[in-house]
A and B are shown apart, each in its own frame.
Chain A
């Protein structure tokens, strides 16, 4: 071993490496008490909401699935962003802080592979939590005699997961900037508060103060990914956006049957954009 030549290998991201890192992240997540706490909390609250839906009734014109879905939207728009943000925020910053990221990147693995593996592993873990919660609620609704609106129910479950991965992306973006895991978590919780509470009030206040046109109000609403999720979900099982007042009616009149799809795509875009920014930041910058 006195002289050696290194055989150049491809520097491009390899799916096999992404899979290895994703598997490790998924295993870590399922061994984490936080993961089980979130899963139990979401599934438990979803079960409670499904149970209190009145069997066989048609309140507000929705079937059992519809009422359960409406309750779950309210639950998901609070809990799901918090899950995604905190998981994402701790991912890179926490590993950087304890040296695990340095150890990982000392292997023949690119930053893209490390990032995508981490993201996919956590996205799958979030899928287990979200679909587990919706699954429990859906079973209870079926037992109570529901069945109508099942398609919308599944669509809202998918939207909830897209919201979760969007927040995961935002969390990882925060993580690339933060100096420590605890700092990243603090910023993530502040961001969650801003999205879940201040965003809604801000849109309402701004629309009154600035006399936003109806299209402007709609646009400003979907600029908040949590609000975009709420509108997409409501549109999925009611077909209307009365909750937005004139802006909602404007949206329905303008886009018609396409509205649900437009809102769905908006949520999907929100699932991609922050992740892309986090990937760009992590791969181009950031000493470990």
Chain B
């Protein structure tokens, strides 16, 4: 269990994290959600003992400030981007990570197989795509087979395909019963990955909720961009407005304002009316 009590981190007179308290039971996956500067990454750095702080963090009963080595031994950390050790090969980097945990090199082969990086083991880090670098970061975090994984914006630098693959991998790790602490500002990813979302703003917790409720709780709305068959747009707008939606014409289709729960409803209404939808995307 991770227990954070009255965590405060200041730089000069500015509180980056202020009176943050949270309990994370074993096996739960939580997301620290918020805009840039909300303090979510700082909370992760406090957990790792990378920064000094006021308040108390206990992990598995140990004080993270006083027994940092022991606490970090139970954690795997995935950085936002692997932008260092460019000249090392994948294998050498993971071997170094294993050595820093006093683990045998054989463990490297196990994690290379787990994250499907076996074909890239002799490539240099600088030769890898963003998605593969992210896998190396995850592989490094998995070397000790830790009960806790800390992931800092794990999908922020990935394209859609690599993001889907990363989320699938992380879902598997979550299903193994690990505790996941993920920082992110993507609402959709949270819903797929975590049990609970801790929304932050200016260093403070604003909402703790189920990921599916986050958009509603925070009043977040999005625009659904629908590409329709030729000539059906005016009729579609009329139908949607009659059902209480705000909709307008767009150069390539229509825009419908929706809540996080309302996307399926809008699409269903149009399909029931026999309007064919060629494509759709969500704009935030």
Q: Are chains A and B native binding partners rather than an unrelated pairing?
A: yes
Name the CB-closest residue of A to B47: A106
Tell me how far the C-beta of A4 lies from the nearest C-beta in chain B, rounded to whole angstroms. Answer: 4
Name the CB-closest residue of B to A97: B84
Tell me whether A103 and B60 are in contact (CB under 8 A).
no
Name the CB-closest residue of A to B28: A2
A273 CB-CB contact with B under 8 Å:
no
The CA-CA distance from A3 to B83 in the complex, in Å, is 34
Tell me how far the C-beta of A198 lies from the nearest C-beta in chain B, rounded to whole angstroms. Answer: 34
Residues 29-88 of B contacting A (Cβ, < 8 Å) = 45, 48-52, 59-62, 66-75, 77, 79, 81, 83-85, 87
Tell me how far the C-beta of B13 lies from the nearest C-beta in chain A, rounded to whole angstroms. Answer: 16
B257 CB-CB contact with A under 8 Å:
no
Tell me whether A9 and B73 are in contact (CB under 8 A).
yes
Name the CB-closest residue of B to A31: B87
Cross-interface CB contact of B48 among A9, A100, A106, A110, cutoff 8 Å: A106
Tell me whether B73 and A1 are in contact (CB under 8 A).
no
Q: Chain A contacts of B59 at CB under 8 A? A: 6
Tell me how far the C-beta of A115 lies from the nearest C-beta in chain B, rounded to whole angstroms. Answer: 14
Tell me whether B84 and A95 are in contact (CB under 8 A).
yes
Given A1-B176, A4-B74, A9-B70: A109 and B100 interface contact (C-beta under 8 Å) = yes
Tell me how far the C-beta of A259 lies from the nearest C-beta in chain B, rounded to whole angstroms. Answer: 46
The CA-CA distance from A8 to B84 in the complex, in Å, is 30
The interface on chain B, measured as residues whose beta carbon lies within 8 A of the other chain's beta carbons, has a size of 40
A210 CB-CB contact with B under 8 Å:
no
Residues 52-98 of A contacting B (Cβ, < 8 Å) = 95, 98
Given A8-B67, A107-B97, A107-B100: A99 and B83 interface contact (C-beta under 8 Å) = yes
A104 CB-CB contact with B under 8 Å:
yes
Give the secondary structure class of A's interface.
Answer: loop
Name the CB-closest residue of B to A7: B70
Tell me how far the C-beta of B16 lies from the nearest C-beta in chain A, rounded to whole angstroms. Answer: 10
Tell me whether B85 and A100 are in contact (CB under 8 A).
yes
A108 CB-CB contact with B under 8 Å:
yes
Name the CB-closest residue of B to A16: B102
User: Which of B51, B60, B100, B101 counts the most A-chain CB atoms under 10 A from its CB?
Assistant: B100
Tell me whether B102 and A6 are in contact (CB under 8 A).
no
Given A1-B177, A3-B26: A105 and B50 interface contact (C-beta under 8 Å) = yes
The CA-CA distance from A102 to B26 in the complex, in Å, is 25
A272 CB-CB contact with B under 8 Å:
no
Q: Chain B contacts of A16 at CB under 8 A? A: 102
The CA-CA distance from A276 to B48 in the complex, in Å, is 25
B22 CB-CB contact with A under 8 Å:
no
Q: B-facing mask of A1-31, CB < 8 A → 1, else 0? A: 1111111111100001100110010000001
The CA-CA distance from A41 to B227 in the complex, in Å, is 66
A288 CB-CB contact with B under 8 Å:
yes
Tell me how far the C-beta of A5 lies from the nearest C-beta in chain B, rounded to whole angstroms. Answer: 6
Tell me whether A8 and B177 are in contact (CB under 8 A).
no
Q: Chain B contacts of A106 at CB under 8 A? A: 48, 50, 72, 75, 77, 79
Give the secondary structure class of B's interface.
Answer: loop
Name the CB-closest residue of B to A109: B100
B96 CB-CB contact with A under 8 Å:
yes
B262 CB-CB contact with A under 8 Å:
no
Tell me how far the C-beta of B114 lies from the nearest C-beta in chain A, rounded to whole angstroms. Answer: 15
Q: Chain A contacts of B27 at CB under 8 A? A: 1-3
The CA-CA distance from A236 to B26 in the complex, in Å, is 65
Tell me how far the C-beta of B50 lies from the nearest C-beta in chain A, rounded to whole angstroms. Answer: 5
User: Which of B67, B73, B84 counts the most A-chain CB atoms under 10 A from its CB?
Assistant: B84
Cross-interface CB contact of B51 among A10, A31, A95, A287, cutoff 8 Å: A287
Residues 265-288 of A contacting B (Cβ, < 8 Å) = 285, 287-288
Q: Chain A contacts of B69 at CB under 8 A? A: 9-11, 108-110
Tell me how far the C-beta of B43 lies from the nearest C-beta in chain A, rounded to whole angstroms. Answer: 13
The CA-CA distance from A104 to B82 in the complex, in Å, is 12
Tell me whether A24 and B79 are in contact (CB under 8 A).
no
Tell me how far the C-beta of A20 lies from the nearest C-beta in chain B, rounded to whole angstroms. Answer: 5
Tell me whether B81 and A99 are in contact (CB under 8 A).
yes
B178 CB-CB contact with A under 8 Å:
yes
Name the CB-closest residue of B to A14: B102
Q: Chain B contacts of A98 at CB under 8 A? A: 83-84
Tell me how far the C-beta of B228 lies from the nearest C-beta in chain A, rounded to whole angstroms. Answer: 46
Tell me how far the C-beta of B97 lies from the nearest C-beta in chain A, rounded to whole angstroms. Answer: 7
Q: B-facing mask of A134-176, CB < 8 A → 1, else 0? A: 0000000000000000000000000000000000000000000
B99 CB-CB contact with A under 8 Å:
yes
Tell me how far the C-beta of A163 lies from the nearest C-beta in chain B, rounded to whole angstroms. Answer: 29
17 A–B pairs (Cβ distance < 8 Å), ordered by A: A1-B147, A1-B178, A6-B70, A6-B71, A11-B68, A16-B102, A17-B102, A98-B83, A98-B84, A99-B79, A103-B79, A106-B50, A106-B77, A106-B79, A107-B100, A285-B52, A288-B51
The 5 closest A-B pairs by CB, nearest first: A6-B60, A100-B84, A106-B77, A108-B73, A287-B51
Query: With contacts A17-B100, A105-B48 known, what are 15 further pairs, Cβ within 8 A?
Result: A1-B27, A1-B177, A6-B71, A6-B73, A8-B70, A9-B70, A20-B99, A98-B83, A100-B85, A102-B45, A103-B140, A105-B49, A106-B77, A108-B73, A288-B45
